[in-house]
Amino acid sequence: MSVIRVRFAPSPTGQLHFGGLRTALYNYLFARSTNGKFLLRIEDTDRERTVPGCKEHLQQLLEWTGLKPDEKPCIQSERVHLYQQCLNDLFQKKNSNEYIYPCYCPIERLKLLRHEAKRQNQPYRYDQKCRQLTTKQKDEYKRQGVPSVVRFILPPDESQVYDDLIFGQHEHNPYHTEGDFIIMKADGYPTYHFANVIDDHLMAITHVFRGHEWQTSTSKHLLLYKAFDWQPPKYGHLPLIEREKGRKLSKRAEENYQNPIEIEYYRKNDFIPDGLLNFITLTGGGFRTDTTIGKTLEEMIETFDHTLLTRHAAILDFKKLDVCQRAHLKRRYKQDRIGVIEKLRQKVMKYYPDKKRGTSLQLETSYLERILDLDEFRIATLENLFNNDLYEYLWTEPVLNISKDDDIEQLRFIIESSLKYKNIGTYETAKQIINDYKNLNSKDKLTNKEIFKVWRLTICGCIKGPPILDIVNFFGTDIVQKRCERALDALNKNEKLCESVTQQ
Ligand SMILES: [Zn+2]
């Protein structure tokens, strides 16, 4: 049996997003799990839509995700001569007039046809006018230098039937919905369909996994293969992925959502690539074992089976993205403790450049280690420790933010009395304090909620975060004491605590 060869064939017209990455991933998994080859093809023949720099960026992103192609990428814009040559071959065929013909219709005429179809509520279909041109007429057009395109003839009663690798038998007749389609444009560049078929053939592609939206194009592609007398690859169409039920992942609708669909965002924010791929596979099946959170790319390859892919639209459940990332970060930390700690240290230095002097606490390995060891921080990525103000108190002295609704006297009372305890930064003492407050006479009695809020304000400077007793215990007596004293001092001076440069 010949070697399995699959390809990922994006157009460099915008950012790679989850839909594209999923297509790449499933092709990659299929190749790796069958000892086949995974190739990359850049489909950049639409010169107006091609975005400069996009192709390089795509390659960097694939490299980052670990889906590395096995061969040098095929760049369509560098192969225009090949498509021309294939077109000539087609024209040389004895029965070429059954397949293709040049069309000299001016744009105005096509616009009129389109307009007329719309008026009559019919699908637009080119009326084949130029198919009837005589050799003499064609020569005359050529002599006058009239620009032309080449159209491919859709036979009226030739339905294309094939076995979709995912959806099973599929039948479609493109003639019912469209007219003879263009394969070569007036600028000498092939259209998507033409270049796609030729390259799949020239690259010896055996299997094509692509998005469901291409399913209706497949019948046209099969007709092109027939015209060339080539063997088509096997096709499998991946069901749509949705943002929520009935809602496509589309750039336009994205502004309302928190999680962007562009992969670049996740690279920038230091997500773990395996976690991102793992997340994509959580819906849609395709594995012999349950799709579990925490699976690496290697483990996905071992259990991949394309016949187990589901046929219904899959919803990307972004709630699971953080869960995946957390699992992969933990895994990585387990395998490479020193590497992860070093990465965290780099980030502290990047985000707090003026606070790395002296013996500052936040750069010590033991301190960083304890942050990573504490599950309660519930971070999904290292970047989480910096990209919101929830964790600022880990790196800087907190600012005591008091609102006008706060009971200042109660605040002062709790801080002052807490300071009377010796080992204030331990679970035992903290619990002891809570207990003692409960036993005060009914007028002064304090609830856990009241105490915790004051401690949070004092130690963290914000009122959200991990359980406060964990934080108290995490910082230990010295720091908790210092922060309490600082807060008290600010209260006495009746001013906001300002961020200080060193944490000592
Ligand atoms: Zn025409």
DSSP 213: G
CA of 146 to the centre of ligand 1 (A): 11
pLDDT class of 500 with cuts at 50, 70, 90: very low
The pLDDT value recorded for residue 256 is: 57
Q: Quick check: helix, strand or coil at residue 353?
A: helix
CA of 110 to the centre of ligand 1 (A): 8
CA of 191 to the centre of ligand 1 (A): 17
CA of 372 to the centre of ligand 1 (A): 68
Has residue 95 got a pLDDT over 50? yes
CA of 84 to the centre of ligand 1 (A): 20
Has residue 265 got a pLDDT over 90? yes
The predicted model gives 57-69 an average pLDDT of 97
Has residue 290 got a pLDDT over 70? yes
The angle at the Cα of 41, spanning 37 to 42, to the nearest 5 degrees, equals 160
Lowest-pLDDT choice from 46-55, 217-226, 239-248, 343-352: 239-248
Has residue 462 got a pLDDT over 80? yes
CA of 104 to the centre of ligand 1 (A): 5
pTM, to two decimals: 0.88
The predicted model gives 58-63 an average pLDDT of 97
CA of 126 to the centre of ligand 1 (A): 8
Residue-wise pLDDT tens digits, 354-397: 765 444 556 889 999 999 988 888 899 999 999 888 888 898 88
Nearest to 166 by CA among 308, 4, 37: 308
Helix runs in 102-214, H state only: 107-119, 135-144, 192-202
Q: Which residues surround ligand 1, an ion (CB under 5 A)?
A: 103, 105, 129-130
Sign of the dihedral defined by the CA atoms of residues 90, 92, 95, 99, in that order: positive
CA of 200 to the centre of ligand 1 (A): 29
Residue-wise pLDDT tens digits, 173-223: 999 889 999 999 999 999 999 999 999 999 999 999 999 999 999 999 999
Sequence-separated (6 or more) residues with CB below 8 Å from residue 449 = none
DSSP 145-158: T---EEEEPPPTT-
